[in-house]
Structures are given as C-alpha cells and as structure tokens.
Amino acid sequence: MDAISVIRTKRDRGELTPEQIDWVIDAYTRGEVADEQMSALAMAILLNGMNRTEIARWTAAMIASGERMDFSSLSRPTADKHSTGGVGDKITLPLAPLVAACGAAVPQLSGRGLGHTGGTLDKLESIPGWQALLSNEEMLRVLDTTGAVICAAGDGLAPADKKLYALRDVTGTVEAIPLIASSIMSKKIAEGTGSLVLDVKVGSGAFMKSIEDARELASTMVGLGTDHGVKTVALLTDMSTPLGLTAGNALEVRESVEVLAGGGPADVVELTLALAREMLDAAGIKDADPAKALADGSAMDVWRRMIAAQGGDPDAALPVAREQHVVTAPASGVLTRLDAYGVGVAAWRLGAGRARKEDPVQAGAGVELHAKPGDEVTAGTPLMTLHTDTPEKFDYALQSLEGSFDIAAPGTSHEATPVVLERIA
C-alpha cells in the first residue's frame, strides 16, 4: 500500500477497499503517512464522499487504532452527549452535571474549537486550575465520585482521530460528513458509554447548513452507534442564531453557571433540558426531573464538585478581556435576524478560536449579545460587545459582522425558530 494510490482512488471517485482504509489509518497514526498526504485524502473525501460501507470501516479502523474504555464497574448507567458544534454552544457545561444530579454517570469526552465553533475544553480551561488532561484512572475516579467528568480523550483512545481532528480544523475539511461521523462515533464507541445522545446542529453557524445534510449525518451516526451496541438517538437543533447571549470561552462559562443557578437565556435552558431528558431516557432513568435538579441547586452542587475534582476553583474570578468595543444598533425596530456564522467568525477573529492547531486561544475573547431576534432595539443602543486582549483585531472581527443582522420596522412580528427541529432514532 502507498498513500498516493489511496488518494488517487478517492480523488477519482472510487470506493476505498477495507484494506486501503485499514492501512491508511494505521499508517497515518504511526507517522508513515504525512499530514499533507492525509490532508489531500480528507479533501478528496469532502468533495467525493464515502458510502455507508466505507464510513463503517473507517470508523472501525479509528477505533482499532487505540484502546477501549470500560465503565462496567460504575454503579450508575452511563449516558453521553455530543454536539456537532455551533456558536455559543455551551450546553455540555450545564448538561453534564445536570444529568449526573439525576442519577446517570456522564463520561463526557470533549474537544477543542474547530474553526468558527467553540470548543468545550477551551471554555473550561478559562477556569483557573482546571485540567482537561486526565488519565483513564483519574477519569474513572472523578466519574465515580462526582457522577460527571468532562475531559480530553486520552492519547490511547482513537489516536488516529486525535491527529485527524486537528488536521481537519486547518485544512478546510471540517464539514465532510463521513469524517464528522467517524470522528465522533469512533471516540464515543471506544469510550464505552452505554447510551449516546447526539445534538446535530443545522443552520448558518453549523457545519451542516441544510436540514437534509443534518439528517444524513444524524442517521449515519445513529446507525454506527446502534451497530456497535450503543443506544443512540439524535436531535436536530437550530444553529441559524447563536445559542444564548455569549460566544467565547470565559463568557460562555459565566453564562453556563447562570443556567446552573436557575437563570440564563431561555434557549440555552430549553435545549439543556431537552437533551437531559433524552439522556436519562436512553440510560433507563424514568423518574428523574431535570428541571427540578436545576431549580433546587443539585446540578450546581455536582458542577462545583466536578470542577474541583479536576483542579479548578469554582469560586475563582473568570478572565476578562482587556479591551471592549460596542456595536450599536443602526436603527430602531425589531431585530429579525442575527447570523450565527457571522458572530462565530467574529469571536474566532477576536481570539476565542484558532487558525492553526498549535495556536493558543484567549480566555476572555468573544462576543456578548445584548439582543436576540424578536427583541426591540433602539438606534444607538448596544447590540453586541466585542471582547479581546488584542484591539488591533477589532476591525477584522467587525468585517465578519457586516450584513449579519437585520432590523425591521418597529412593531414587525417575528416568528421564532424552534430550538429542537427533529428527533432521529
């Protein structure tokens, strides 16, 4: 086998054989296939796709590149959730402790930012002392003592995906459905969770722009999970508008804590509860009420224990960017559109995301929204605030916001898009 012949097969719209897939994943993991060669193959997959057989084999090869975890020693059933990524998508932060407070164990392996979408680990690392990297033994200990853990996948878990995940971010191949499906499901199946709920985002701020592509991705992943004995269900959720009122690392942590305290934006609370109910149902827990666990403080208690167990200080002040720039409403009326992609790119350009896999992120950078579609705004009042440590980035961020919102005449009616669009099981 050689990398060039594998690349040519997919470049010419051919079907990769099981032997080609097994070889290229193994060789890339070992370093025999170079990043530039895997980049070419990833682009060919993005442009020409894979059939169901190829995706299943690619996923199995990713799983086989490393170890598999075992949570059978836990006294609770396990349930996990994965989001395909969006703007302002901080749902994992309140969701994991909430589901744990209701009786499930939540082994949440999360990732870093991809392009304009934020990464859960980047967000949590804005908490002083918090550690994303845990050994398998440490992960199991935190899970056993607190009921939830959010951490990076260890080096031994699907190492092929760890390399490819970072490469996709910087080569314009994040949106490839076969690569998204195999990346997510290889980690989740190797992780060993008993059930999995997928949050597949749809809209301008998601990697899946159309409902048809989102259905295809969701159905592919549900099939992969079911075939490997993991009870899997997917929700298609709206990402045409940012979730909540913040996009950025420390900004989103602050908003997540507000949700755990019983407040927070309505759309974040709604989606958190919808996913919690799906996770609890998949885990076989029928009598728990996640809304009650938010209201009575039990979810917050789990959050504090979970953060402390990973070295973080839940009482510490979160980082604040050194510079702010306020974007004001150009006219009075009703905000009818706020484009998630434009806001996400602005946050990324301000320093909340990375352009290269080795780039650092700014903990305090991002965008704070002061209005959402349906809200009345007044000319000259704040529409959003940009945060960064590097003010020279303001102009670049503002470019991405040009044309990203519409304001209609006062009194214009606005019909909100549902947060949850469809369910696929």
Identify the three-state secondary structure at position 333: strand
| Burial classification of residue 30, based on how many CB atoms lie within 10 Å of its CB (0-12 exposed, 13-18 middle, 19 or more buried) | exposed
| Cα separation values, 61 from 21, 54, 217, 274, Å | 7, 10, 19, 33
What lies within 8 Å, CB to CB, of 274 at 6+ separation is 235, 419, 420
Which residue in the list 168, 201, 231, 349 is annotated as catalytic?
A: 168
Which residue in the list 161, 169, 267, 339 is annotated as catalytic?
A: 161
Structural tokens at position 36: 């530039």
116 is catalytic: no
Beta bridge partners, 420, equal 237
110 is catalytic: no
| Cα separation values, 377 from 332, 343, 408, 412, Å | 5, 18, 10, 12
Given the structure tokens 């009326």, which residue do they identify? 333
| Cα separation values, 370 from 154, 310, 326, Å | 38, 33, 10
DSSP assignment string, 266-283: HHHHHHHHHHHHHHHHHT
187 is catalytic: yes
Which residue in the list 182, 183, 240, 400 is annotated as catalytic?
A: 183
CB 48 within 8 A of CB 76: no
* H or E stretch at 255: helix 249-260
332 is catalytic: no
Which residue in the list 116, 163, 187, 231 is annotated as catalytic?
A: 187
CB 105 within 8 A of CB 148: yes
168 is catalytic: yes
Which residue in the list 10, 81, 82, 354 is annotated as catalytic?
A: 82
Q: What's the 3-state SS for 182-239?
A: HHHHHHHHHHCCCEEEEEEEECCCCCCCCHHHHHHHHHHHHHHHHHCCCEEEEEEEEC
Q: Taking Cα atoms as reference points, which of 398, 329, 317 lies closest to residue 364?
A: 317
Residues noted as catalytic: 82, 161, 168, 183, 187
